[in-house]
Homo-oligomer: A and B are copies of this chain.
C-alpha cells in the first residue's frame, strides 16, 4: 500500500488483537525502516528495545496508566536515548564512518572535532532534547512503514518514564526511555477504528510564504 493510503487506513489503535502475531519478516522490515531513516549527522543517538516478556509487559502497562496496547500488541518497540551522549559515542561513530567508507581515521579528525564541538557547546538537557527529536524521526518512519505494510500501530508517549527505566533496567545501560511504538493488528472490538480521522484542513496546516 502506498504510504499515504496506509496513513489514511491506519488509526491510533487502543485495543490490539493479542492473538495475532507478526512474522519475523514483518518485524525485520519495520526494524530496517527504523535503521535506515536518517538522524542528525547520521549519529543514531538512540537504542530501540524490543520487549517480549509477558511479565515485563504487564509491569510496563501499569507504568503506562493501564494502557492495554502494552500487553496486547504483537510487538513493542521502546525508543531510548543515551543518558550520557559524550565524545566516546562520537569516537565510535567516526570509527564506524571511517570503516564503512575506507577513510583513514586521521582524515576524519576534522569531522570528529566539529561533532565534539557541537556536543560540548550543549548542556546535558539540550543534548537530551536533541537526541529525543532524532528518536521521534525514527518513530515517524516506523509509523510510515507499518502503514505501508498495513500493520496496525500506536505511538505512545504517555507513560511514567522513570518507572519504565526501572522496569527495563535502563539506568544501568546508560539509557532512558523516550517513546513507544506498539505494532500488531487491531481488535475487531476496538471502537476507535470506527471514528473518522480528524485532521486540520490543508490550508490551515500549510502556508505559502513568498
Listed A/B pairs (25) with beta-carbon separation below 8 Å: A3-B3, A3-B141, A4-B145, A7-B32, A7-B36, A12-B38, A35-B199, A35-B202, A35-B205, A36-B199, A49-B207, A50-B207, A51-B210, A96-B198, A97-B198, A100-B196, A101-B198, A129-B129, A132-B133, A133-B133, A133-B179, A134-B136, A137-B143, A138-B140, A139-B140
Nearest B residue (CB) for A93: B198
Say yes or no: B38 contacts A144, CB within 8 Å.
no
CB-nearest residue of chain B to A98: B198
Interface check A42, CB cutoff 8 A: yes
Query: Are B200 and A143 within 8 A (Cβ)?
Result: no
Asked if A84 CB lies within 8 Å of chain B CBs, one says no
Contacts of A100 in B (CB 8 A): 196-198
With A8-B36, A199-B36 known as contacts, the answer to whether A209 contacts B143 (CB < 8 A) is: no
User: Complex Cα distance A195/B29, Å?
Assistant: 23
Which bucket holds chain A's interface residue count?
35 or more
* Contacts A3-B3, A101-B198; A51 near B209 (Cβ below 8 A): yes
Number of identical monomers bound together in the oligomeric complex:
2
Closest Cβ of chain B: how far from A185's Cβ, in Å? 17
Given A12-B38, A137-B140, 12 more pairs with CB closer than 8 A: A4-B33, A7-B32, A7-B37, A36-B199, A44-B200, A48-B205, A52-B208, A100-B197, A101-B196, A136-B137, A140-B144, A141-B144
Near B by CB (< 8 A), chain A positions 111-146 give: 129, 132-134, 136-141, 143-145
Tell me which residues across on chain B come within 8 A of A136, comparing CB atoms. 133-134, 136-137, 140
Which residues of A approach B to under 8 Å, CB–CB?
2-4, 7-8, 10, 12, 29, 31-38, 40, 42, 44, 47-53, 55-57, 93, 96-97, 100-101, 129, 132-134, 136-141, 143-145, 148, 155, 157, 168-169, 179, 195-200, 202, 205-210
